[in-house]
Amino acid sequence: MKITNFSRQILFKAFVFSFLTIAITGCNQTDKEAKQASSDSPEFKGKIALDIRDSKADWAAYTPKSAPKGSPNILFVLYDDTGLGSWSPYGGAINMPTLDKLAENGLTYTQWHTTALCSPTRSTLQTGRNHHLNGMAAITETADGFPGANGRMSERVTPLAKILQDNGWSTFWVGKNHNVPEQDVASGGSKKQWPLQMGWDRFYGFIGGETNQWYPDLIEDNHFIEAPATPEEGYHLSKDLADHALEMLRDQQATNPSKPWYLWFNPGANHAPHHSPKDYIAKYKGKFDQGYDVYREWVTQRMIAKGILPKGTVNTPMNPMRADMAAPIDNVRPWDSLNDDEKKLFARMAEVYAGFSEYTDAQVGRIIDYLEESGQLDNTIVMYAADNGASGEGTPNGSVNENKFFNGYPDELSENMKYLEVLGGPETYNHFPTGWASAFSAPFKMFKRYSQYAGGTNDPLIISWPKGIKAKGEIRQQYHHSVDIVPTILELTGLDMPKVYKGVEQEPLSGVSMAYTFDAKPDGPTRKEVQYFAMLGSRGIWKEGWKAAAVHAPLSGKGHFDKDDWELYHVASDRSESKDLAKENPEKLQELVEAWFVEAEKNNVLPLDDRSAAEIISIERPSQEPARDRYVYYPNTAPVPEGVAVNVRGRSYKILANVELTDKASGVIFAHGSRFGGHSLFIKNNKLYYVYNFLGIKPEQVFESSIKLMPGKHTLGMEFSREKTGKNGESVGTTKLYINEELVAEGSMKTQPAKFTLSGDGLCIAYDSGDAVSELYPSPSKFSGGTIDLVGVTVEGTPYIDLEAEAKRVMMSQ
């Protein structure tokens, strides 16, 4: 019998089908074991025959896992930079109506601790592991290439969001993210550490240490976007974030109302810049006129009266660090030593901070109201907290434009007083002085960054869950830490952190569940045994009611950690760490010091790093895009973040644009920065302009062409030739403005030694995003009346960079 090619094909297909049928229906033992070992490859338990009519489907193998019926929703609200003595539920002067309501229906924790810094704390809240196990020894911008400080969370510390997502929860992140390496905050950068790749279904917010609350730098999911409105139209970031949180929840409920969700709401409050609507600032007029010394004493007594602190708690000094270890930048100026203008300015700064906090609480209240109205609040676990103590980065003198400090440029009181009435508005980028950081972190020593003292680590936490917590309006004194949140949520949702996830062995959880406290006595025993602290060279350890604290300031550059003196406190009875018992209990002290080293070994804490901020910032870090001398940019792209944009700091540079113009050409060609510092090349009234806005100090440095532009093709540009360094580190030189090869303007100019902004306000072509660089045009001033082919920027030579100024910028972004 002759076998044709067609017959051969039929026989071959039949053979293949028979082989596959045997393989599937026979379930080879090796294949079965492989399938069972992989959660991504569920075993098919149906039947496959030649005809679908004789086959049996198995949808279970292809249906996403559902959460158990009745599983709770989770809302975690996380503020920045807020000490225990700030908010009304704890006795503070800042009214928090939403938080008060939650406290009345839930539990107020008095000894919940953090890492003393933003990124590290947020990493623990994501993974349940200590910050060094997450590679987050400090903020991502200080990564140094060691296991505990590499700045990237590894696959060995799978985030809670992924576990919830795998088990049927919707996951939403709204607001701040400061756990992405700076070089990855770019349209073309690696997205591996971005929220959507870390287990979150949706993201809306900003990536970085801070952002302008009136003109934020926003990201939606995996791409950069512009803010939906302006301050003149009633925009503020806190409201926008609440709007998007509500939108996400409503969209989810419209399609999957039976599915539980996890929403992490991270407003920009209370991090600088302290931006608040005027009516909320007005609520606090005169409330802080007596000063931070008086406030600190007042609030400590209030906290004792409310039961937040034990009777007999002693208020600690505002400048507690030993003289040989104290950092001058963290000193507090006694209120009585201030002149009248300083008192007026500093009191106003506290009013703005308080208004910012309460306004944001009102936006959280909108979310709570929606949950109540929609019947979801009863089975929603609400956790409301802060990530570290109040911020001392405002220096002893405060600032109306903290970018001056980042650039090593002094604030002048007379200049700052000009902004007194608009403080907190779009015209300022303000931060209060260290005195308020100390006051709002009462009664403890120091504030943010100081991990050995409670002023940096003891933060507010209130938990409400009507369905799951019987106690209402009670206080819980048990000692806990931010690493304990993930174990708590896992227990309450009935889930486990896997020992192996997607083939990768996992680090064990560092924390313990706090769920037992729901039914515990207010002052009942804690189930936590030990917690180490380490941040930028500061370190301490808590163990069974005792606390050892190394006398070492962060970023001090002192080194010689083996020579550190250690203090000992019995915090079970001395909550404010006021009485050093090291001499009376040397054996207990030695026990705790040894325990610290045990924890350090387990958690990749070493080596310790207290180098100055300038030394840390100068570390060479690998980047996917090496620095170069020539950059080319095109229109119709998102802003280029400063961390990956051309660096013109401390060097000569040129900006050249190839354009074709009509007689109606107008608008921005190139812009980078904001009203608080930046530069821009633009066309106005048929003339070419270049403006360098030096730290927002008026008047702007303006170069205007002496001739008008004519229709046609042109090369437009400017050139700055650096000649010397000014007294505050600024670069001084000559700027020339060109139309084609014709010099049309020339003059002296100075440029900033450090970056234009902490984060955001990126480099733009054909528009100016957010807050306009120059007051000569409004934002966004999109280019019209012609075309821009490209804009090239060239830089020459090794840049002169004021490392101290750059370092201040980085450390302020905590």
Q: What is the mean pLDDT of the chain?
A: 92
Task: Check whether 22 has a pLDDT greater than 70.
Answer: no
* pLDDT of amino acid 807: 60
Task: Check whether 31 has a pLDDT greater than 70.
Answer: no
Q: What percentage of the chain reaches a pLDDT higher than 90?
A: 84
Rounded distance, CA 736 to CA 717, Å? 9
* pLDDT of amino acid 733: 97
Q: Which of 511, 472, 469 is nearest to 488 (CA)?
A: 511
Rounded distance, CA 670 to CA 210, Å? 24
Task: Check whether 329 has a pLDDT greater than 50.
Answer: yes
The mean per-residue pLDDT over the stretch 663-679 comes to: 96
Region of poorest pLDDT, from 164-173, 333-342, 718-727, 753-762: 753-762
Give tens-digit pLDDT for 213-228.
999 999 999 999 999 9
* pLDDT of amino acid 24: 37
Q: What percentage of the chain reaches a pLDDT higher than 70?
A: 92
Task: Check whether 131 has a pLDDT greater than 50.
Answer: yes
Task: Check whether 471 has a pLDDT greater than 90.
Answer: yes
Rounded to 5 degrees, φ, ψ at 745 are -170, 150
The mean per-residue pLDDT over the stretch 783-802 comes to: 86
Task: Check whether 103 has a pLDDT greater than 60.
Answer: yes
* pLDDT of amino acid 9: 45
Task: Give how far Cα 219 sits from Cα of 140, 227, 231, 234, Å.
Answer: 18, 9, 19, 20
pLDDT band of residue 617 (cuts 50, 70, 90) is confident
The mean per-residue pLDDT over the stretch 510-524 comes to: 97
* pLDDT of amino acid 5: 44
Q: Which residue has the tokens 């609030």?
A: 299
Rounded distance, CA 761 to CA 756, Å? 8
Task: Check whether 533 has a pLDDT greater than 80.
Answer: yes
129 close to 157: Cβ distance less than 8 angstroms: yes
Crossing angle of helices 340-373 and 237-255, in 10° steps, is 10
Long-range contacts of 644-648 (CB under 8 A, 24+ apart): 644/183, 644/185, 644/186, 644/189, 645/672, 645/762, 645/763, 646/763, 646/793, 646/795, 647/795, 647/799, 648/679, 648/720, 648/751, 648/793, 648/795
- Establish whether the linkage from the previous residue to 159 is cis, with ω within 30° of 0: no
Give tens-digit pLDDT for 166-177.
999 999 999 999
pLDDT band of residue 813 (cuts 50, 70, 90) is low
Type of residue at 86: S
Region of poorest pLDDT, from 218-232, 540-554, 608-622, 714-728: 608-622
Question: How is residue 642 annotated by DSSP?
Answer: T
* pLDDT of amino acid 37: 36
383 close to 440: Cβ distance less than 8 angstroms: no
The mean per-residue pLDDT over the stretch 690-718 comes to: 96
Rounded distance, CA 576 to CA 208, Å? 32
Sheet arrangement for strand 546-550: 530-535, 538-543, 546-550, 566-569
* pLDDT of amino acid 621: 80
CB atoms within 10 A of CB 763: 24
Backbone CA torsion sign across 553, 559, 564, 568: positive
